[in-house]
Amino acid sequence: MPDLSPSAAEPTTLGAAAPETPPVATEPRRGDRVVTDSGVEVKPVYRADDAPPAEPDPGRFPYTRGVYPTMYRGRRWTMRQYAGFASADESNRRFRLLLARGQTGLSVAFDLPTQLGLDADDPRAVGEVGRVGVSISTLADMRRLFAGIDLAAVTTSMTINAPAAILLLLYQLVAEEQGVDPARLGGTIQNDILKEYAARGTYIYPPRPSMRLVVDTFAYCRDELPAWNTISVSGYHIREAGSSAAQEVGFTVANGLAYLEAATAAGLAVDDVAPRMSFFFAIHSNLLEEVAKLRAARRLWARLVRERFAPRDPRSEMLRFHSQTGGVTLTAQQPLNNVVRVAYQALAAVLGGTQSLHANGYDEALALPTEEAATLALRTQQILADETGVAATADPLAGAYAVEALTDAVEAAAREWLERVEAQGGAVAAVERNFVQAAIAETAYRKELAREQGDEVVVGVNRYADDGDGQGARVPIQRIDRVAVARQVERVATFKASQDCARIADVLGEVEGAARGDANLLPPMKTALAAGATVGQVAGALRRVFGEHRATG
């Protein structure tokens, strides 16, 4: 067991003349081999014969080097800082601040009750309203959230899954009130329910009716919101739950294929769906593996979509993705170290060719980010874009022996996990059988064991730890405004008390009727929301037909 206390040779006061101890090798080890968290062996030296033949240029199949020919020379990645807390009014102020400081896209965090299709006044929501995101229960809430923001001029990403269609319809209604043509409305709903069962837990309905809701959203957006990204297939939460980089890619690609298979089985053409699919990956601190992971994911997706679906539109084969620096990598101990972690991770995302990026606040292991931390995270992206030069050329690490070899290795490992999922009967069956959940849990356990034993170093936690307050400063943390939360709960209760009960019963009955049949669910849901039904009421209508999912195993 290594000594995890600070080295006695380290100077204890500024200017102390103590000899430096040579740095200890800190890579995860298995025996005398150095391996990544995906089990890929890292050689001490890479040479030309380790690298595969050169890949085609960016913008050409299989898109290993990027989905666009000029990448950031033609268009920078979207700087999309995730935000949302308390009420719509507080979140609106944060959105407008970030836009004024140079953010180029909005990303909405919803609180847990909203994610679970519960209104703010629901007894099950007590203690969670506005805590980890904004509380949205009514069309009026959505109006306040985007007050003073031209929805024709921004793209908005919404991290919402089980009730994704409901929140999308509220957004569409607000945009239409602003006079925005729905055909021009740009943004993304996460809408990736499979990873909720596997890694995150904010599901409502059982997997198969949930898949129907996803496919109905695809069809609705094809006709009504053609510029909208209808799903963001998320590896981020799979990684945050403890998976390896290769599992993140393998399980995410498996889920993406499952959505395409469900869509085509419902009669949608692959070229009606795949070009509006996006992906979402976590970026952790092993810089070379993370770059390789993103390159491998693009290549694997392109090859599989071409082989299995034979699309005519090249965009169907392009894996476009948002990325976020790794929340689980941040530490409450020595929190200012997180500034450095986030910067390195953001660099990996850009070197790997991300289309949009959220950089975490340094205080997010403690609370929601303060205004200062959120601004610094945005400035981290801006410095990366404008000062480092990495955006000047596409795929800057292409041809590096190590990166090319790691790209092949991660793709091969990811494909193995994909094949294991398919041996279970596909992504839906693998989730129903708890295969994916068990695989992630096993990897997470092994990682935690490695950290406890000191084989995987976390600076400031199991090595170079300080006594007391760490870096000598207590960082300020964001406090949720309890008055604003109470006001939101009261506002929703008052809204419901003024509803036309007969009208609401009628429109919710139409939603239930559609759920019992095979009609697209979104048109009656939109009618219900426009008539004044709440998020919880519409979600409840579907609950009465579909039931609720209960995890097993």
Q: Provide mean pLDDT across the span 122-140.
A: 95
* pTM listed for this prediction: 0.91
Q: Where on the phi/psi map is residue 47: left (φ > 0), alpha (ψ -120 to 50), or beta?
A: beta
The Cα–Cα gap between 357 and 378 comes to 10
164 and 147 Cβ atoms separated by less than 8 Å: no
Residue 424 has pLDDT above 90, yes or no: yes
In the sheet that holds 228-229, the strands lie side by side as 82-83, 106-109, 156-159, 187-189, 228-229
Predicted pLDDT of residue 472: 43
| DSSP state for residue 35 in the 8-state scheme | B
Mean of pLDDT values over 293-304: 98
pLDDT at 28 over 70: no
Q: 535-546 and 522-530 helices cross at what angle (nearest 10)?
A: 140
Given phi > 0 = left and psi -120 to 50 = alpha, else beta, which region is 454? left
Evaluate if residue 526 carries a pLDDT over 80: yes
Q: Give exposure, 79-90, as e/b (b: 16+ Cβ within 10 Å).
A: bbbbbbbbbbbb
pLDDT of residue 553: 62
Phi/psi zone of residue 517: left (φ > 0), alpha (ψ -120 to 50 degrees), beta? beta
Given this model, what pLDDT does residue 5 score? 36
Residue-wise pLDDT for 442-477, tens only, equals 999 999 999 999 999 999 999 999 865 555 457 888
- pLDDT at position 67 over 90: yes
Average pLDDT of the segment spanning 367-391: 95
- Kindly report which listed range (101-110, 204-213, 264-273) carries the lowest average pLDDT score: 101-110
Tell me what pLDDT residue 403 has: 97
Up-side HSE of residue 197: CA atoms within 13 Å toward CB? Answer: 29
Look up the CATH architecture of domain 48-52+63-452.
Alpha-Beta Barrel (3.20)
User: What are the structure tokens assigned to 108, written together?
Assistant: 């909405």
Mean pLDDT within 285-299: 98
Helix (H, G, I), strand (E, B) or coil at 535: helix
Closest CA to 237 of 104, 127, 327: 327
What b/e sequence results for 455-473 when a residue is b if at least 16 CB atoms lie within 10 Å of its CB, and e otherwise?
bbbbbbbbbbeeeeebeee
Burial 307-336 (b: 16+ CB within 10 A, else e): eebebeebebbbbbbbbbbbbebbbebbbe
Identify any residues that bridge with 432 across adjacent strands, giving them in sequence order: none
pLDDT over 90 (residue 108): yes
DSSP 262-294: HHHHTT--HHHHGGGEEEEEEE-S-HHHHHHHH
| pLDDT at residue 475, rounded to an integer | 85
User: What is the average pLDDT value for the chain, to the nearest integer?
Assistant: 92
Give me the torsion for CA of 67, 70, 76, 80, rounded to 10°: 0
Rounded Cα gap, residues 217 and 215, in angstroms: 5
pLDDT recorded at residue 2: 39
pLDDT of residue 551: 84
Range of lowest pLDDT (2-16, 20-34, 129-143, 521-535)? 2-16
CA–CA separation, 513 and 357 (whole Å):
40
Query: Is beta strand 33-34 parallel, antiparallel or unpaired with respect to 29-30?
Result: antiparallel
Q: At 106, give phi and psi (nearest 5°).
A: -95, 150
pLDDT at 32 over 90: no
pLDDT at position 21 is 43
Q: How far is it, in rounded angstroms, from Cα 289 to Cα 410?
A: 8
Strand partners, 170: none
DSSP letters spanning 49-118 = GGSPSPPPPTTSTT-TT-SSSSGGGT-PPEE--EE--SSHHHHHHHHHHHHHTT--SEEEEBPHHHHTT-
Q: Is the pLDDT of residue 525 over 90?
A: yes
- C-beta of residue 101 within 8 angstroms of C-beta of residue 500: no
What was the pLDDT predicted at 473? 57
Give the Cβ contact number of residue 147 at 10 Å. Answer: 14
Average pLDDT over residues 30-55: 88
Q: Hey, where are the domains in the chain? A: 48-52+63-452, 502-553
- How many residues does the structure list for the chain? 553
Give the ranges where 225-363 is alpha helix by DSSP (H): 236-240, 245-265, 270-273, 287-309, 337-351
* Spatial distance between the Cα atoms of 83 and 106, rounded to a whole number of angstroms: 8
Average pLDDT over residues 306-323: 98
Confidence band of 22 (pLDDT split at 50, 70, 90): very low
* Positive/negative CA dihedral, 28, 33, 35, 39: negative
Residue 278 and residue 188 in contact, taking contact as beta carbons nearer than 8 Å: yes
Kindly state the percentage of the chain with pLDDT values over 70: 93
Q: What percent of the chain has pLDDT over 90?
A: 87
In contact, 128 and 113? CB cutoff 8 Å:
yes
| Helix (H) or strand (E) segment spanning residue 357 | strand 356-358
Lowest-confidence region among 30-39, 114-123, 183-192, 440-449: 30-39
Stronger pLDDT, 475 or 221, i.e. the higher one: 221
Given a cut of 50, is residue 344 above it in pLDDT? yes
CA distance 394 to 348: 13
> Rounded CA gap, 348 and 378, in Å?
16
**Greatest pairwise CA separation for the chain in angstroms:** 81
